Chains A and B, each alone.
Chain A
Amino acid sequence: MSARRDRRDKLASRAVQAGFVVVLVALWYFGTTRWGVSHLLLPNPVKVWEELKDVLASGDYIPDLTITLSEVATAFVLSCTSGVIVGYVISRSQYAIRVFEPLLAGIYSVPIILFLPLYILFFGLGPASKIAIGTTISFFPIVLNTIAGFGYVEKIFITAARSMGASNYQMFRYVLLPAALPVILTGLRIGFTVALLSILGSETIASLAGLGHKIVHLAEAMETARMFAYIAFAVVIAAVLNMIVTSLEARAKRQ
């Protein structure tokens, strides 16, 4: 009810969340030191922490991180450009919306990652196939949200602008774009997240380099502690990127 009570509730839930993590790490720790869980399956958390420090200090992660990030960035730029342009063009005609929106939504519901073997055949094991699959998967939420954003602008805004003499450019810049922007930005954020997930995922399936590749490689070499260190590293990178994108979206929506 009051702001203070809100804050107390929030603090309480934060405490529960932190407690949960502490219990989990404690279970992990005792599992490996007391209860005899194989170190090959689950390494000691202290060892993982040491490995993580080594990974960061040695700069061992740099080549793989660079590859993964540049794949994600390329895929995102490609899907943004194509998704927004295609979405805008479709949104210009009610007929095109009726034809393409259900079609695209249908394809979006297919697990496209199943086509990864085909992508590998076409684009090889290197970054090209990762970029291609990331672009494909993130294209759909972006194009669908762009159609929704531009296609369902309230008619009265368009009529009013037309009555005041807005040119085509002015209509786009000052009416359609601001009306559609919040929905499009949501599409971009979702697109970014699925691009990141699908690229990391496909690196673990078939690749030559990248964070996902590194993790599988370490698993195969039975270096489980270092593998866990890399997983933790990738999780943090993904979380940070998602946070950046979410806050950019919120910032842009406020303006």
Chain B
Amino acid sequence: MTTGDVAIRVKDVSHQFGEPGDAFHVTALQKTSLDIQRGELLCLIGPSGCGKSTLLNMIGGLLAPTSGTVEVGSKPVRGPLPRDIAFVFQENALFPWCSVIENVKLGMMFQGAPKAEQEDRARKALEAVGLKDFMAHYPAQLSGGMRQRAALARALSLETEILLMDEPFGALDEQTRMILGEDLSVLLSSTDKTIVFVTHSLGEAVFLADRVAVFSARPGSIKEIISIDEPHPRKPGFVTTEKFSQLRNTLYGLLHEEIRKAVAQTVMAGPLT
């Protein structure tokens, strides 16, 4: 594997919130290294609070590592890179005062996309996520799933090489997230984007990812990476195969121990003891 294939290189990255001695001092991420290949979809999975969002925000230049380096396209990341990296956040990050299509166009305007292309690209992106008939709606008029589709359209319209998704379907119900996962798999197989996808769902990780990185409990670092060797776009039937359940079980085994540790941490810190 040559360096040319690496889209994102995370090297010995740690992050601490607050100064040592502060009441809220936390080591969110501990000496993590990770190479993400161009065009792959990498899932991050791990106990709550282990630093997945922190890592994603450092890759996206929204947060500076306390130590270590993050490189995108073999250049060190020093701040947001709107031409290379787009985000889909867990929370609803659509601007409520803009209609769906205005939200998408505003993103392109911030990015500096040519004005003449904006309308067209916005329509295309919204059609791709199935929101053709809801362009003039306001976010408050959409369901949770539609809002996340709109947020995805906004990210896609930026036509970046890298897409960072932080539990984009985290707040949705099981059925909606299954459908969105299937749609996403189809949508993304037609692009050659590099994607980092944080999720809590083992099934979602196996269904979507080329590789899954499992985090240890806080202070987080990558415990193991497993490969999901199955062509894209994945068929809905993949979920019912033996291979799928085996991979899912492997992940479950890796994760279970870490979640126990994470829960033990919070109980020890809690008022019960």
Q: A165 touching B111 by the CB < 8 A rule?
A: yes
Residue A113, interface by CB 8 Å: no
Chain A residues within an 8 Å CB radius of B85: 163
Chain A residues within an 8 Å CB radius of B68: none
Q: In the complex, A170→B62 CA distance in Å? A: 18
Interface residues of B in 20-74 (CB under 8 A from A): 60-62
Chain A residues within an 8 Å CB radius of B62: 159, 162-163
Chain-B contact segment, one of A34-42, A63-71, A173-181: A173-181
Chain A residues within an 8 Å CB radius of B220: none
Q: In the complex, A167→B61 CA distance in Å? A: 15
Number of B interface residues in the complex (CB < 8 A):
23
Given A156-B89, A160-B89, also A166-B95 (CB < 8 A)? no
Chain B residues within an 8 Å CB radius of A16: none
Bin chain A's interface residue count.
Answer: 10 to 19
Q: B80 touching A162 by the CB < 8 A rule?
A: yes
Please tell me which one of the listed residues A157, A170, A178, A179 contacts residue B109 in the complex, with CB atoms under 8 A apart: A170
Mostly, the B contact residues are loop
The chain B residue with its CB closest to the CB of A161 is: B110
Q: In the complex, A166→B62 CA distance in Å? A: 13
Q: In the complex, A164→B158 CA distance in Å? A: 8
Can you list, as one digit per residue, whether each of B97-132 has a CB less than 8 Å from chain A (1) or not (0)? Answer: 110000000110111100000000000000000000
Q: B89 touching A164 by the CB < 8 A rule?
A: no
Interface residues of B in 65-94 (CB under 8 A from A): 80, 82-83, 85-87, 89, 91-93
Given A156-B91, A170-B109, also A164-B97 (CB < 8 A)? no
Among B62, B80, B83, B112, which residue has the most Cβ atoms of chain A within 10 A? B80
Q: A175 touching B95 by the CB < 8 A rule?
A: yes
Chain A residues within an 8 Å CB radius of B97: 178-179
Q: How far is the CB of A164 from chain B (nearest CB, A)?
A: 4
Q: How far is the CB of B171 from chain A (nearest CB, A)?
A: 13
Q: Interface of B with A (CB < 8 Å)?
A: 60-62, 80, 82-83, 85-87, 89, 91-93, 95, 97-98, 106-107, 109-112, 158
Q: Interface of A with B (CB < 8 Å)?
A: 156-157, 159-167, 170, 174-175, 178-179
